[in-house]
Chain A
């Protein structure tokens, strides 16, 4: 049995028939073909699959694709606009917030919501808000710096 699922991903309408057991992350990666969203664990610990669904950062491995029916989704591929990097992306680049790059899309998506909640986050807030995202390369030091850099840029941009 297959069920219809219709979503808007990075501004484009997507319409497919999928098995009810298909996870949203596999739908995004395999059905839609956007492979920037990664799978790093089976237990929703690592956060590599974090996306924005209706504005909320969610782990795409915790939902079935059919649960996203009607949703507006942003993945890492949709963060830069018109070829311009988002300040968070720029921050990760400027501050060397990534090494192997595998956790990075999830980190950027988590940071996206974090900075909506806390436009001027303290170091402690950043670390706490990243509780659901694992990185094995950076020891988090430069990820914290990257998000601080982005927060400053975004604040300056709003003035």
Chain B
């Protein structure tokens, strides 16, 4: 009898992918070497908005080493980059890979130079002469629709891409009558994702087979292939292989189909040589889809006792110069549908206007819509507490939706899966020792010190997503996931997942899942991801969906493997398949572990089917597609303690605490790591980060100007969890990739506002709360 195999799920197993990364043997796109590779450099617009009068490539073509130069005029038969989420009456302007009529943001590509070496391409690019006719640009979110602003696209009068609303306006009007209503202007500034690995691609066309291979920094290689092959280039999907090898972080910015990989894939078919492009960081700032960028007027009403009666929200969302792949979904279905938060909210109405501006296209950035919702709610709760002169923790506790296990219908379309919001918050209050903090704060204030605490609670809709639901809301894709399990004759297992890891650790967590289900050692398991040539199909990784959707698909296949294995084992044991159970890596007759066949022997039998059940196909390989029945809804409560320097306005984080509930946890070490990183990004938004445009020029165009969080700006994080499994999937996992980013921004801002309360500061319209902005606010209030 086999010894009981140790369960691995739920344990902090060290990552299997790490040895290659810590020894410098990761394999990122820019590391790839293919013989005969040429190098691409893009000619980009230096203007925010300019008509293209002429592109003169004659001198550049003569430059030694130049292989080809292409402009938009050369790309005949190529379609617009598609928008994958269509709202009703959405204005969809053409977005050509190379702009030929006009460039609409600084960085918009208009030509590509391809040369034998990177240096030759760069040198030749400087000889391409573009004659521009600059047009007045508009970049500010709240100016886009103003009379007199230039129209950026013919199809979009007043630069409006869409007007969209959700909720019950009349119910909010009624609820506000007689209520205490607080009103705030809330700006959620523009951010740059800045994964440490810049985007890159290597496109190779094999003229002999007609096959195109594209290595690209992608979170979802199948989506890249489908959009590029079928919608833009019109080439057969089955002749295109997209590979996303090791990818150095993404945070949403590598979901989308971009101009550069599309152009390289088109051009390699023309020149019949491989083409590589690697973004510089400057290009990353100018072309990676930006995140957030909302200007909102929000009103929240309360009874005198502190119960929320309603929420009214009017948001302008800046979409940039073109519609990026999923842009319209972010400020609508991923934002306004989350405005119910974790609170009982009798009436909600949200009105969202998406606008075009002469800026980099805006799309999903870690959290995508949900951080905007959480930030708004948590600032409004604070405003309410201030107006009602009520403790902010007490006000939150009064309004939490009570514990529920299976379904809570919100006022804005979503039906939450399971929740216990008060429990997470109470755990947080205990960790932070709230009462003690308030007395410490009072003592500090008497000494003239500015200490503050900020709370946030959040809910997110992740595990994206039920295909039927998102289809009815405008998605042009299904959002299921695939998982294929191939058992080899010797009992080794290769798993093919449509999900993609770019830091999440799939090779470890998915191995834990397989090892537990099959009762075999992790060393016998290989996880393959990121290759359309090997994996059935897949929607990739974003929206905290890998474990919940990808993991469930895998689980389904593992169960099919075991079912088939039972039939084979039953035949060998001369028993009925119904009497066979699978325990500790062996198929055994129920109740008689002595009568057993190990997994490896069943695997071998499946491939050497000499003594085999009648009518059963040989082989041991199963594929499943899992389409979730609902989103999953992680939640939690975070707190931040800060001290503000009275003289400089500098904010120092003294403590950061997080209690997250992501359902069941497959690997606590990995989940904690994602929470840490998410917190850092959210703190970055609160205190330092922001993409700034001036007259259409991106002023924060490098890491010298855009403040990335550094080690010495951040504390150690104090994390804990509550566990409320989701009923949506059999693993009970909700999703953990974005929680930190969603929760931390409001916690930090609320802490700074609390610290500055003695000076009369009660709000900041705009983040980041860098020293200058805080100092200015302090001066204004001091009079």
With a cutoff of 8 Å between Cβ atoms, the chain B residues found around residue A45 in the complex are 702-704, 708
Contact (Cβ within 8 A) A144 B21? no
With a cutoff of 8 Å between Cβ atoms, the chain B residues found around residue A75 in the complex are 24
User: Smallest Cβ distance from B575 to chain A, in angstroms?
Assistant: 45
Checking B21, B282, B673, B710 against A138 with a beta-carbon cut-off of 8 angstroms, the contacting residue is B673
Checking A100, A126, A139 against B503 with a beta-carbon cut-off of 8 angstroms, the contacting residue is A100
- CA A33 to CA B24, docked complex, whole Å: 12
CB contact list, A83-98 vs B, under 8 A: 85, 89, 92-94, 96, 98
User: Smallest Cβ distance from B40 to chain A, in angstroms?
Assistant: 16
- Total interface residues on B, CB under 8 Å, equals 59
With contacts A35-B31, A42-B281 taken as known, whether A96 is within 8 angstroms of B249 at the C-beta atoms is no
Contact (Cβ within 8 A) B22 A92? yes
Contact (Cβ within 8 A) B702 A101? no
With contacts A35-B24, A100-B197, A139-B680 taken as known, whether A134 is within 8 angstroms of B708 at the C-beta atoms is yes
- Listed stretches A52-60, A103-111, A151-159; interface member: A103-111
Checking A41, A92, A102 against B281 with a beta-carbon cut-off of 8 angstroms, the contacting residue is A41
- CA A103 to CA B14, docked complex, whole Å: 19
User: Smallest Cβ distance from B387 to chain A, in angstroms?
Assistant: 34
Contact (Cβ within 8 A) A134 B22? no
Contact (Cβ within 8 A) A135 B673? no
With a cutoff of 8 Å between Cβ atoms, the chain B residues found around residue A139 in the complex are 676-681, 709, 714, 717, 740
User: Smallest Cβ distance from A12 to chain B, in angstroms?
Assistant: 15
With a cutoff of 8 Å between Cβ atoms, the chain A residues found around residue B18 in the complex are 92-93, 98, 101
Checking A40, A46, A93 against B14 with a beta-carbon cut-off of 8 angstroms, the contacting residue is A93
Contact (Cβ within 8 A) B196 A135? yes
With a cutoff of 8 Å between Cβ atoms, the chain A residues found around residue B23 in the complex are 36, 76-77, 79-80, 85, 89
With contacts A38-B197, A93-B14 taken as known, whether A101 is within 8 angstroms of B716 at the C-beta atoms is no
With contacts A100-B502, A102-B28 taken as known, whether A140 is within 8 angstroms of B680 at the C-beta atoms is yes
With a cutoff of 8 Å between Cβ atoms, the chain A residues found around residue B248 in the complex are 38, 40, 100-103
User: Smallest Cβ distance from B737 to chain A, in angstroms?
Assistant: 11
**Among A37, A75, A108, residue most surrounded by chain B Cβ atoms (within 10 Å):** A108
Q: Which of the four size classes fits the interface of chain A?
A: 35 or more
Looking at chain A's contact residues, the main secondary structure is loop
With contacts A100-B247, A126-B711 taken as known, whether A138 is within 8 angstroms of B676 at the C-beta atoms is yes
Tell me if A130 is interfacial: C-beta within 8 Å of chain B. yes
Query: Residues 424-457 of chain B: 1 if any A CB is under 8 Å from the residue's CB, otherwise 0?
Result: 0000000000000000000000000000000000
With a cutoff of 8 Å between Cβ atoms, the chain A residues found around residue B711 in the complex are 126-128, 130-131, 133, 135, 140, 143-144
Contact (Cβ within 8 A) A99 B702? no
Contact (Cβ within 8 A) A33 B33? yes
- CA A62 to CA B678, docked complex, whole Å: 30
Contact (Cβ within 8 A) A134 B716? no
With contacts A36-B24, A98-B21, A104-B21 taken as known, whether A134 is within 8 angstroms of B710 at the C-beta atoms is yes
With a cutoff of 8 Å between Cβ atoms, the chain A residues found around residue B710 in the complex are 130-131, 134, 140
- CA A46 to CA B21, docked complex, whole Å: 17
With a cutoff of 8 Å between Cβ atoms, the chain A residues found around residue B250 in the complex are 100
- CA A48 to CA B248, docked complex, whole Å: 11
Tell me if B712 is interfacial: C-beta within 8 Å of chain A. yes
Contact (Cβ within 8 A) A123 B503? no
CB contact list, A20-58 vs B, under 8 A: 21, 29, 33-43, 45-46, 48
- CA A136 to CA B712, docked complex, whole Å: 14
Chain B residue at smallest Cβ distance from A146: B22
CB contact list, B257-310 vs A, under 8 A: 278, 280-282
| A-B pairs with beta carbons under 8 Å apart, 10 shown | A35-B31, A36-B24, A76-B23, A92-B22, A99-B504, A136-B708, A137-B196, A140-B710, A140-B711, A141-B717
Q: Spell out A's residues near B (CB within 8 Å).
A: 19, 21, 29, 33-43, 45-46, 48, 75-77, 79-80, 85, 89, 92-94, 96, 98-105, 108, 123-124, 126-128, 130-131, 133-144
